Amino acid sequence: METTETESNGGFEGLDLLPSALLATIFTKLDVPSICSCASTCKTFRSCASQILSFLPTFHLPEIAPSMDSLRPLLPPNPFLRSLKVDCGRLDDSAIQILVRPSLHELCLLNCADFSGKLLSEIGGLCKDLRSLCLGSVAEKRGRAVHISDLEELLSGCTQLEALVLMFDVSLFLRHNFARVWTLASEKLTSLEIGYISSVMVTELLSPNLGFHQLPNHIRPSILPSIQKLCLSVDYITDTMVTTISKGLISLTHLDLRDAPLIEPSITLDLTNNGLQQINQHGRLKHLSLIRSQEFLPTYFRRVNDLGLLFMADNCANMESICLGGFCRVTDTGFKTIFHACSKLFKLKVSHGTQLTDLVFHDVSATSLSLLHVSLRWCSLLTNQAVANLASNKDLKVLDLRCCRNLGDEALRAIRTLTRLKVLLLDGSDISDVGLSFLRSRVIQSLVTLSVRGCKKLTDKGISALFEGCSITELRELDLSNLPNLSDNAVLSLAKGRIPIVELRVRQCPLIGDTAVMALASMQVDEERWHGNGLRLLDLFNCGGITQLSFRWLKKPYFPRLRWLGVTGSVNRDMVDALARNRPFLNVACHGEELGAEQWDSSDGLYMHDFDEVDELEQWLLEGEGDTDDEEMADAELME
């Protein structure tokens, strides 16, 4: 009888004797994955977990997209729930009744492609106390739609809203009603991010008299009077839009604008020196980001030169962060003006600075700047000397030098003195195995992210020498893609060194094959804690040696924490499909998509989550859905 009682309790004798109030108090200190991890250990904890979910104040589940059947028991009626974050990739409008609750203060719903505008209207009708709302990809699936009335109900209903993120295309709304609807927005709204909106709509929204059919002597109510942070992706960044934003939003401290023109903009649809002169008229701006993306067309801010940055620098004394992308006519003179005007600057990002040279950093050590984050992507004229000068900022944490093709081993010799560096991105540079060895002494010990994608001189010898014999505990993200001389031996050295990699990219490496996959599947990072491989992301797209043998090792129980996988689907479509069915929570990309890429580049985001418990959560969710048929994988193998 005693043995049976112990076994039924998962081997933990006497846990059922602990006071339920004590267990409940402990469980309230845990996040959702941790609670479910405990629930999988014994019946007592499982019972407590089921109860605690009825009064848990926070429910965050961004890593796994649950089905409706899986989500329902995890979200019982709970009047105490204040914060809810869920990946809705497998949900639709039928889940609104579970997700939308009057008690919520914070709501974040990602991947809502199968939801309609009803989601917005229901939130406005029920969530009267909501402070923060983030909605991603709403109604992107064909047949779904968001109407202006849905937005109206959202804005009029959520009167306490302070932060709003709408990461979808709002330009589909009728323009003549759009500005009127925003007059209903909460006066407490301080942060607004929109996934896509036309520049004309922004101008009409914030202009005092445009977009309204007004009666004589009618005074238009102030639009978004308290906004401090504004992040917009638009069709064109224009003088008119920038001027309207600068004049209309008097409390603005954070401005992030990004465009991706489909055609070369005319002068009326472009940013010029005059527009830059209007920025920060009220003097409160601390973060400025103006990025022209090359996503659809290789185009730049051709109507801005050094004079524009001289104008802008007059209002930039309090700037702490400046990001400029696509300013092809700005030379060292313009960029140095920013350095000398912004004494508080700690973050500098420049992309496609085609005239930026080493001279801009020549006397950076003589300034009062204390740079923590420097990104100089696609600045092709920079050489090792620029990096040597930048290295005088010993507190640098992020250094992004992607596509600076003239950088070589001497740049790494300078970087080796940056012992606090967390992120180092060197894609496409001219470094060799010798240069990589400079990182071995100190820098590799502090790095969280390292990317040497496309550094074609690197070989197995350099990668192996970097990791072998070192106790590396911080490195989580490693990109070794597009290295023609990289083979399975380099991956074997990673496995042997027990590097705690969470994201590994080795795409476009023709010599990587089945041996690498088997080594990774067998790798144990920390036997006392991880009990196996910790990879969350593995990109093997277009690796020449991958066969059906690798797919056997990609099945459960191997790679238990894997969430994103990149493979070449055209080689073995049946195996890919069977793998996706075998692991329903695994995102399989087989068309060359970049895994884990975010719409808003945040390479300075150093937050790392401990994902251990998510796997027990997946196990718990799958119990309600039935086991996936492993025989499908075997059948697919037999078909080959």
Q: Say if residue 585's pLDDT is above 70.
A: yes
Residue 599's pLDDT is what?
Answer: 35
Q: Say if residue 607's pLDDT is above 50.
A: no
Q: Which CATH superfamily is domain 476-594 in?
A: Ribonuclease Inhibitor (3.80.10.10)
Average the pLDDT over 125-136 and give the result: 97
Residue 155's pLDDT is what?
Answer: 96
Q: Say if residue 2's pLDDT is above 50.
A: no
- Burial profile 453-477: b = 16 or more Cβ within 10 angstroms, e = fewer: bbbbbbbbebbbbbbeeeebeebbb
**Six-digit token pair at 99?**
């997700």
Task: Give the tens place of pLDDT for each residue, 355-408.
Answer: 999 999 998 887 778 999 999 999 999 999 999 999 999 999 999 999 999 999
Residue 468's pLDDT is what?
Answer: 82
pLDDT category, 14, cuts 50, 70, 90? low
Residue 576's pLDDT is what?
Answer: 81
Task: Give the tens place of pLDDT for each residue, 298-328.
Answer: 999 999 999 999 999 988 889 999 999 999 9
Residue 590's pLDDT is what?
Answer: 86
Residue 49's pLDDT is what?
Answer: 80
Task: Give the tens place of pLDDT for each residue, 539-551.
Answer: 999 999 998 899 8
Secondary structure (3-state) at 325: strand
Q: Say if residue 443's pLDDT is above 60.
A: yes
**Six-digit token pair at 453?**
């994608």
Q: Say if residue 528's pLDDT is above 60.
A: no
Average the pLDDT over 545-573 and give the result: 85
Q: Say if residue 526's pLDDT is above 70.
A: no
Residue 633's pLDDT is what?
Answer: 55
Lowest average pLDDT, out of 67-76, 374-383, 424-433, goes to 67-76
Q: Say if residue 73's pLDDT is above 60.
A: yes
More confident position, 181 or 637: 181
Residue 578's pLDDT is what?
Answer: 83
Residue 54's pLDDT is what?
Answer: 87
Q: Say if residue 291's pLDDT is above 70.
A: yes
* Cα dihedral 19→20→23→29 (10° resolution): -130
On average, the pLDDT of the chain sits at 86
Q: Say if residue 159's pLDDT is above 60.
A: yes
Q: Say if residue 462's pLDDT is above 80.
A: yes
Q: Say if residue 79's pLDDT is above 80.
A: yes
Residue 504's pLDDT is what?
Answer: 96
Give the separation between CA 434 and CA 98, rounded to whole angstroms.
57
Give the separation between CA 566 and CA 410, rounded to whole angstroms.
34
Residue 11's pLDDT is what?
Answer: 46
- Burial profile 497-523: b = 16 or more Cβ within 10 angstroms, e = fewer: bbbbbbbbbbbbbebbbbbbbbbbbeb
pLDDT category, 455, cuts 50, 70, 90? very high
Give the separation between CA 419 and CA 394, rounded to whole angstroms.
8
Q: Where along the chain do its domains lie?
A: 20-81, 476-594
Average the pLDDT over 260-267 and give the result: 94
Residue 609's pLDDT is what?
Answer: 37
3-state class percentages of the chain: helix first, strand second, coil last, to nearest 5: 35, 15, 50
State the amino acid at position 69 in one-letter form: D
